[in-house]
């Protein structure tokens, strides 16, 4: 037991809920352990007037938290795993993932209700390239506009009439007790979620066994296996906010089923593949490679090349 465990977290209501949940679990598992929160404002929180894809991608939400670990201002960082890029910086580790909450995406469209009832030309707010591409693939008649801000801010923008609808993770709405705002939940067969969606990732310094001991009881082995496959797919396909990439691994008995999807930003090209493996750590990583290779060899390589070219021309 260490004198005090410091948890680095963003300051949004959802991030604080997640950090406080981790804090309570550690205190419950280790009576007498002092745990405090260190609130960090990230670049992704500060820049609200542009889509994330234009200012550096989802890593913007984790870099400052990781910096607090490097300078030893914090001992543990709590992330939404879907925000964590495929490669963890040298010197840090992501040894624990929590049990997965609902991984699905939710539609919030109070004036229309369901996705099919959105009128042609309806304005849907999302700053996720994945969600935007998936929506355009399903409904090219929709108008997709970027929307930034925390969960409450996005809901307020829909309520004000600035947008007809927005998409949010079911897990976040449940954690904030805003599930009543959901007008439709998308099954993964319709909208495959982000890799790691619904999971909390706990990041520490590699050379910190004392913190690892405190957080180890939060590890969920089934989620960890599935995330090995998902994060290997993410790593191989260079997934960040500038790549419309989706995927989900589920355990079914003693087997893992991994589905992956890579899209062009306009939704006109979609490359998908699914495969299964034994439910072991080694097989999970190989499963991620198998799905990544199949996507790359079926048109994914060309999509990634076009995305890189577009990024180079529009830095």
Strand locations in the chain (E): 4-9, 34-39, 76-80, 92-97, 105-108, 123-125, 143-145, 165-169, 184-186, 200-205, 245-252, 255-263, 270-278
Question: Positive or negative, the Cα torsion across 274, 278, 280, 285?
Answer: negative
Query: Three-state SS for 251?
Result: strand
83 is catalytic: yes
- Rounded to whole angstroms, how far apart are CA atoms 254 and 257? 10
Please check whether residue 6 is in contact with residue 75, taking contact to mean a CB–CB distance below 8 angstroms.
Answer: yes
Torsions phi, psi for 207 (to 5 deg): -95, 40
Identified catalytic residue from 75, 83, 102, 105:
83
Work out the burial of residue 182: count CB atoms within 10 Å of its CB; fewer than 13 is exposed, 13-18 middle, 19 or more buried: middle
Nearby residues of 182 by Cβ (< 8 Å), 6 or more positions away:
106, 107, 108, 170, 173
Torsions phi, psi for 167 (to 5 deg): -115, 135
Give how far Cα 186 sits from Cα of 135, 192, 273, Å: 11, 8, 19
Return the H-helix or E-strand segment holding 20.
Answer: helix 13-29
Cα 70 → chain centroid: 23
- Rounded to whole angstroms, how far apart are CA atoms 131 and 173? 17
By annotation, the residues acting in catalysis are 83
């Amino acid at each position: 037991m260490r004198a005090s465990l410091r948890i680095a977290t963003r300051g949004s209501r959802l991030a604080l809920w997640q950090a406080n949940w981790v804090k309570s679990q550690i205190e419950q598992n280790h009576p007498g352990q002092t745990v405090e929160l260190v609130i960090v404002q990230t670049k992704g929180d500060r820049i609200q007037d542009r889509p994330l894809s234009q200012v550096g991608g989802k890593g913007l939400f984790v870099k400052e938290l990781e910096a607090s670990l490097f300078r030893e201002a914090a001992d543990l960082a709590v992330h939404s795993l879907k925000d964590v890029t495929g490669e963890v910086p040298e010197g840090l580790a992501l040894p624990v993932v929590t049990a997965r909450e609902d991984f699905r995406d939710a539609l919030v469209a109070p004036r229309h209700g369901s996705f099919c009832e959105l009128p042609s030309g309806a304005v849907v707010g999302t700053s996720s390239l994945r969600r935007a591409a998936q929506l355009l693939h399903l409904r090219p008649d929709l108008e997709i506009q970027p929307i930034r801000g925390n969960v409450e801010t996005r809901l307020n923008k829909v309520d004000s009439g600035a947008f007809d609808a927005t998409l949010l993770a079911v897990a976040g709405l449940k954690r904030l007790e805003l599930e009543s705002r959901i007008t439709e939940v998308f099954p993964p067969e319709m909208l495959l979620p982000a890799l790691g969606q619904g999971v909390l990732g706990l990041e520490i310094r590699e050379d910190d066994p004392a913190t690892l001991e405190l957080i180890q009881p939060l590890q969920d082995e089934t989620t960890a296996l599935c995330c090995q496959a998902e994060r290997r797919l993410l790593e191989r396909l260079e997934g960040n906010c500038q790549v419309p990439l989706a995927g989900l691994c589920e355990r079914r008995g003693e087997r893992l089923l991994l589905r992956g999807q890579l899209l062009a930003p306009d939704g006109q090209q979609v490359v998908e593949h699914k495969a299964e493996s034994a439910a072991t750590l080694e097989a999970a990583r190989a499963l991620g490679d198998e799905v990544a290779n199949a996507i790359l060899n079926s048109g994914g390589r060309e999509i990634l090349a076009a995305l890189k070219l577009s990024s180079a021309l529009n830095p």
